[in-house]
Amino acid sequence: MKTIMPKQIDAADRKWFIVDAKGQTLWRLATQLSVILKGKHKVNFAPHVDNGDYVIVINADKFAVTGKKMTDKIYYRHTGFLWGLKELSLENLLTKKPTRALELAIRGMLPKNKLRKSMISRLKLFSGTEHKYNAQQPEEIKL
């Protein structure tokens, strides 16, 4: 039996999916969305080929977290200067940038190589229920 090597598909062959994040747990939602962005739900999956689909997430700021993660979960970044370590709790991050927490959760679950940038570019996050991709006729999926 021969091993099949899948080819890179173009943008016209990729599907569009829409997901409502309201009330769903943040990290469970992020794992399921990263599977779609990577293309692991397809039969022609290969880790070195980017054959994932587009994902539109509405209500991206209305997810749920368990326990005391709203106050205890800390996001770190560094300015590049000495003593430039900045920290921000999940609660404060949601007030400043509502969709950033979901984006960071999904970004951390994607491969750490050159394919990550193209995968994360197919993720479209919206904090409300309206989006601008109606022309693509996205399929609604329940996660």
pTM: 0.92
Residue 59 lies in a domain: yes
Range of the domain at 115: 12-65+98-130
Residue 19 lies in a domain: yes
pLDDT of residue 59: 97
Main-chain dihedrals φ then ψ at residue 55, nearest 5 degrees: -130, 125
CB 57 within 8 A of CB 126: yes
CATH code at position 57 = 3.90.1180.10
pLDDT of residue 44: 86
| Domains held by the chain: number | 1
Smallest Cα–Cα separation from 118: which of 43, 45, 39?
A: 39
pLDDT band of residue 99 (cuts 50, 70, 90) is very high
pLDDT, tens digit, 9 for 90 and up, residues 10-28: 878 899 999 999 999 999 9
Residue 137 lies in a domain: no
Residue 141 lies in a domain: no
CB 137 within 8 A of CB 130: no
